[in-house]
Structure formats: C-alpha cells, structure tokens
Structure 1
Amino acid sequence: MAVAAEQAPAPVRSRLLRAALECFLADEYHKVTTRRIAEKADANISMIRYYFGSKEGLYEEMIRDTLSPLLDVLDGPMLSSVEGFTDFLRLYYDTMSKRPEFPRLILKVLALNQGPGRRFIQQLLERGRTRGARTVADLKSHGQIAPSVDPDILRMTFVSLAMMPMLLKDIFEEQMGHAMDAAFIENLAEFNGRLFTGGLAPAPHE
C-alpha cells in the first residue's frame, strides 16, 4: 500500500501574507520588520519585494486578502435583496471571529492622521459607500426598502451592527460568561439581520 505523500507547503506568497497578518496583529507597524515576516514565513526576504514591492505593499495586500470574502460580496448577488443583509452579517461575523484582532487593527489605522494602509482602507470604504448607494437605489426602485432611507445612515448602522460585536468580543464574552461560539454568532446574525431589515421596510404611507 502506497504511503500518502506529505502535504506540500503553502506557496511562498500565501505564507508571507499569513505571516504578515500574524506579525502586524501582534505588534505596531513600525516595529515589524520584513526580515521578521520572512523568517516567520520561512521565505527569503527578497520574495517580499518580488511579490509586494515593499513592506507597505505587503501590508495593503494583507488587508485586501483578509477582507476579500467581504469585498467579493459587493460584486455579487447577495445584497440584491434585503434578506442578503443577514447573510452578509453572518459572513462578516464568521470571517472576523477567526481574526478578532483584525477590526481593531483597521480602527487603529484609521485613527491615525496618516500612516501605512490608511489611504488604501479609505479607498475600500469609499468603494463600499459607492456600491452600497447603488444597492440602496436598486432596492428602492423595487419597493424593498422605504424611499426615505438615507444610504449613509444605512451604511453607518450596518457597520455598527457588524463591527461592534467583534471589537468588544472579549468584553462581551467576559460579561456573558461564555464564548461567542458558532451557534451564538448564528443567532446574533439572525437577530441583527431582522433588526436591520425591519427598519428598512416601507411604512404604509410610503
């Protein structure tokens, strides 16, 4: 009987992205060196320049790679109906529960007047704002949400419902006395989805 071959190591680029995420989550940007990332990824430091151009390029690609499941939704059918908001919340919670430090990293970057990743994150937020406004217009045209809904208020409300449970995850778990496990996250997504979509429903006079 043939012995199964050992699993091949992940490609260098993937290892560098994973190592960068671990390093940047654990320490301040200016304290993380490309040599440290390369060593953690078991890669030659020259591969960072080859794949990403620079430390900042790697940082931006790390953010894009982590957020890719969420960014892909903006181009897909999930948000073509109000029910999709619940699905998106579920996807966000699932993505961030695997990396609960990541929302804090994003807020830390945005809290700086300038710094690595800030411009890039702002571009992602503007992309979400623009496409979100288009989604709201489509939903209004099909009578799925009230004509009076302000796209910016909707976006801020949705971001609040999405981010806060992950930002304060440790505190909430300590207060509740149990972990926010998969079952809890599912219930939270369902409840917040109903709460959110309920506020979008057209009133009788609309």
Structure 2
Amino acid sequence: MNIAHQHSSDPVRTRLLKAALECFLADEYHKVTTRLIAEKADANISMIRYYFGSKEGLYEEMIRDTLGPLLDVLDGPMLSSAEGLSSFFRLYYDTMTTRPEFPKLILKVLALNQGPGRRFIQQLLERGRTRGAKKVADLKTQGQIAPSVDPDILRMAFVSLAMTPMLLKDIFEEQMGHAMDDAFIEDLASFNGQLFTAGLAPAAHR
C-alpha cells in the first residue's frame, strides 16, 4: 500500500492539500513556498516531505486529488448508459463548485505552461481519453449510442460544456442577475445530459 493511499483520510494531509490548492490558485508556482502552505494548513513543514516528498509532489497530488474522482467514473457504473451523462455533468459541476478556481489553474498550466504540472496533467487527461474511448466503444457495442460517434469529439464537447460555466461563472452570474446555485446547476447538468443523450442516440431512436 502506498503512502498516499494509506494516509488519504489523514486530517493533516487533507489540510495540506486544501492549503496547497488555495496557495497555488492565488499565486504563481515559484512564488508559493512549502513554509507558506504548512502555515496555512497549521502543520509542520516536515509533513509535506513525509506525505508528498516535495513541493512538486504536493502540487501533483493536489491535481490528482481533484481530477482523480472524475476519471475514476470512467471505470464505474455511472456511464454504463448514455443517460448517466447528466450525473457525470453534475459530478463535474459539484467538484468544481467546491474548487471554483481549479479550471482556471488547469487552463493556466496547459495554455500558458505556468507551473510544473503540464506533463502530469496531460498524462491524467490521456488516461481519461483512453478510458473514455473504451466506454464509448462499450456503449456502441450495446447499441446505446450511434456507431458514428467519434470519442475525441465527444470528449471535447463534454469538456467544453463542463468547463465553460465554471471558467466564466462570475460573468454568467452577472449577466443573469442571479447565482448559479444548486438548483441552477442541477438544471444545467440535466439539460446538458439530455442534449448529449439525444445527440448520441442511434438514428432509429431520435
């Protein structure tokens, strides 16, 4: 059993991950020190080395801790049918609502190459791409989605509809004149899920 899994519920480790997310979202990677993270987490700085090995190890685990549950869905029952897409959208929105700046961090790393996480995030996304392609192939075999569906196009469409509301949340809320509260997020996830379900259906089912 590896240390990360063995201590996944340790409160000190949890506080360090939360503090790291806050610090890395607030400032550039090279400006964030392990001492600052430890102070924010009310932990001894030596605990960073104990749990994560280094600042970069903590940074990578922070990203894995957020994206991991979303990628794990691709191995589970949620997407055993196209109708599960609504639940997947809702899971994504809920995850990012608790970490509202995280999509901006991912965008900053991938688009602007800021921070050491580009290669690591790309590896996680490639893992998601491979698993997603297998899930699409399974759904095609079961006759639940059209044979012509391109898994890469599906993935890009999902990411576009999932990330954009979180990236532009402040702007959308200002334009609408109300918050994207739990009820709104539920409706948005349901609508996007239905949109995908209809678009993916074999021709005879449309």
User: Do they superpose with TM above 0.5?
Assistant: yes
Distance across 2 between alignment mates of 1:205 and 1:91: 27
**Counterpart secondary structure, 2:24:** helix
> Residue 22 of structure 1 corresponds to which residue in structure 2?
22
- Post-superposition Cα deviations, 1:17-45, rounded to whole Å, max 9, x if no partner, equal 11101111111111111110011111111
Distance across 1 between alignment mates of 2:204 and 2:191: 24
> Residue 138 of structure 1 corresponds to which residue in structure 2?
138
> Residue 63 of structure 1 corresponds to which residue in structure 2?
63
How far is the alpha carbon of 1:115 from its aligned partner?
3.8
Superposed CA RMSD in Å reads 1.6
> Residue 74 of structure 2 corresponds to which residue in structure 1?
74
Structure 1 pair 203–102 and aligned structure 2 pair: CA distance change class (3 A): same
> Residue 157 of structure 2 corresponds to which residue in structure 1?
157
> Residue 4 of structure 2 corresponds to which residue in structure 1?
none
How far is the alpha carbon of 1:71 from its aligned partner?
2.3
How far is the alpha carbon of 1:174 from its aligned partner?
0.4
Structure 1 pair 195–18 and aligned structure 2 pair: CA distance change class (3 A): same
> Residue 168 of structure 2 corresponds to which residue in structure 1?
168
**Residue type at the aligned position of 1:169:** K
> Residue 120 of structure 1 corresponds to which residue in structure 2?
120
Maintained 8 Å contact 2:108/2:114: no
How far is the alpha carbon of 1:180 from its aligned partner?
0.1
Q: Which has the larger radius of gyration?
A: 1
> Residue 179 of structure 1 corresponds to which residue in structure 2?
179
Alignment pair present for 1:192 and 2:192: yes
- Structure showing the higher helix proportion among its residues: 2
How far is the alpha carbon of 1:204 from its aligned partner?
3.2
- Post-superposition Cα deviations, 1:77-136, rounded to whole Å, max 9, x if no partner, equal 111110111110011111111111110001101113474111111011001100110011
Q: Which range is displaced more, 121-130 or 70-79?
A: 70-79
User: Matched residues, percent identical?
Assistant: 87
Correspondences of 1:34-45 after superposition (within 5 Å): 34-45=34-45
> Residue 104 of structure 1 corresponds to which residue in structure 2?
104
**Residue type at the aligned position of 1:36:** L
Q: Which runs of 4+ in 1 moved over 4 A?
A: none
Maintained 8 Å contact 2:89/2:193: yes
**Residue type at the aligned position of 1:82:** A
- Post-superposition Cα deviations, 1:46-102, rounded to whole Å, max 9, x if no partner, equal 111111111110000011112233122122111111011111001111111111111
Distance across 1 between alignment mates of 2:172 and 2:11: 37
Maintained 8 Å contact 2:16/2:43: yes
> Residue 5 of structure 2 corresponds to which residue in structure 1?
none
Distance across 2 between alignment mates of 1:200 and 1:116: 37
Distance across 2 between alignment mates of 1:50 and 1:164: 37
TM-score scaled by length of structure 1: 0.91
User: Can you give the 5+ residue segments of structure 1 that lack an aligned partner in the other structure?
Assistant: 1-9
Report how many residues are paired.
197
Distance across 1 between alignment mates of 2:179 and 2:168: 12
TM-score scaled by length of structure 2: 0.91
